[in-house]
Structures are given as structure tokens and as C-alpha cells.
């Protein structure tokens, strides 16, 4: 169970996140939506422990994988990138790369990929490892409809394999509908609405 109580993040005198209470069940898939600047990345970074809240308490697993909003590549090929932290899983790396339709690029220098290709590769680099909590910041922001569909499928497979909890931010309804069972809408750092995506579970 992930639990946040009275969590706030304040920059200068501006409160950018204010969450009095939030619980996420183990195994849940939560989409975070909301306008630019509404606090999605801030919440994900706090859950990933790359950012400290200014107040409140957070209970979340230590075993976290986090995809930042801006994907990046390390030096080396696409395959080298996916094998980072999973050196002995070459077969699985190639399978993940194939699922993302990146096989033709496996030996290409990762730093020369297009934005969308890099986003898919960054996701492969994460999904090769199991975790208890998967945090994805706009994982399909650079992807077309087909790429988004590939990510939906890869996430479903990963979830079936690991039984992890997933929290992702997105502006893409296609991803929310396919990959989330709960939609939290943020507005000015606060939870505006919080309900099941489809069918609506009250």
C-alpha cells in the first residue's frame, strides 16, 4: 500500500503540491492527469524519492523504478542501454526491444535515436527489471498512436509478470483508458477528482 498524508511541496511561497490524503492499493494502476504545472511530476518525484516533500508522511516501497519526463540515452547502442543493470538478460532485452518495434535499431547508437524511439528505449531499460512500484512520467508523450499501443501492451505484460503497482502521468486518453484502473486529476497541486477510469467504480 502506498500512503501519503498531508504531503506538501512548496517553492518559495508557492505550494505546488498539497495532498492531505492519498492511498493506492498494491497492484493498482493509477493515471495522473492535469494541466501543465498541476503537480504530476512533483508527485511522481516525491514517490520516487528523488524529491523531498516539505511536510507530511509517505509510505511507499523502496523497490521503485522511475521513468523521468525527459527520456535520455547513455553512451552505447540501444541494446547496451537496455542491458544496463541487467547484463545477463540479453534474450529478454532483445524481446523487449522487439515488442517496442526497435529491433532494427538494436545496434544503433542510442544517442542518435529520435525522441519517440528514445522514449521507447528508455521504457525497455526499465521494464527489464522487476519492481514493486513503477513510476512513469508521461511515458508516451513523444509517441504516435501505434507507439502508445505498444507501450500499453508492454505495460500489461510487465504487470502480469511482476504484479507491481503502477503510477503514471499522462495527457494521452488512450493510455489512461488502456493502462489505468484509476484516474486522479490534479489541479494546482491538489487532487481535483479521483475515480475509476472505466467502468467508473465509486
Ligand X SMILES: Nc1ncnc2c1ncn2[C@@H]1O[C@H](COP(=O)(O)OP(=O)(O)OP(=O)(O)O)[C@@H](O)[C@H]1O
Q: Which residues bind Mg ion (CB under 5 A)?
A: 40-41, 69
Minimum separation from the CB atom of position 176 to Mg ion (A): 15
CB nearer ligand X, residue 10 or residue 86: 10
User: How far is it, in rounded angstroms, from Cα 202 to Cα 195?
Assistant: 7
- Choosing among ligand X, Mg ion, none, which partner's interface includes residue 71 (Cβ < 5 to 8 Å by kind)? none
Minimum separation from the CB atom of position 196 to ligand X (A): 21
Which residues in the chain belong to E strands, given as ranges? 2-11, 14-24, 29-33, 55-59, 64-67, 133-137, 165-169, 182-187, 190-195
Minimum separation from the CB atom of position 53 to Mg ion (A): 17
Question: Which residues of the shown chain bind ligand X in the complex (CB under 6 A)?
Answer: 11, 16, 34, 36-42, 69
CB nearer ligand X, residue 69 or residue 162: 69
Helix (H, G, I), strand (E, B) or coil at 185: strand
Amino acid at each position: 500500500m502506498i500512503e501519503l498524508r498531508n504531503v506538501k511541496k512548496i517553492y518559495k511561497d508557492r505550494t505546488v503540491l498539497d495532498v492531505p490524503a492519498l492511498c493506492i492499493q498494491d497492484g493498482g494502476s493509477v493515471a495522473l492527469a492535469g494541466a501543465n504545472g498541476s503537480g504530476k511530476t512533483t508527485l511522481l518525484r516525491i514517490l520516487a524519492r528523488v524529491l523531498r516533500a516539505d511536510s507530511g508522511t509517505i509510505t511507499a516501497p523502496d523497490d521503485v523504478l522511475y521513468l523521468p519526463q525527459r527520456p535520455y540515452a547513455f553512451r552505447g547502442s540501444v541494446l547496451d542501454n537496455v542491458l544496463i543493470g541487467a547484463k545477463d538478460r540479453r534474450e529478454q532485452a532483445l524481446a523487449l526491444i522487439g515488442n517496442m518495434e526497435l529491433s532494427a535499431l538494436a545496434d544503433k547508437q542510442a544517442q542518435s535515436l529520435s525522441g519517440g524511439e528514445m522514449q521507447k528505449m528508455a521504457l525497455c531499460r526499465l521494464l527489464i527489471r522487476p519492481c514493486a512500484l513503477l513510476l512513469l512520467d508521461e511515458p508516451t508523450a513523444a509517441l504516435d498512436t501505434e507507439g502508445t499501443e505498444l507501450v500499453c501492451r508492454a505495460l500489461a505484460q510487465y504487470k502480469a509478470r511482476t504484479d507491481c503497482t503502477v503510477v503514471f502521468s499522462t495527457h494521452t486518453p488512450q493510455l489512461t483508458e488502456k493502462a489505468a484502473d484509476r484516474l486522479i486529476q490534479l489541479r494546482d497541486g491538489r487532487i481535483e477528482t479521483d475515480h475509476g477510469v472505466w467502468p467508473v467504480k465509486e
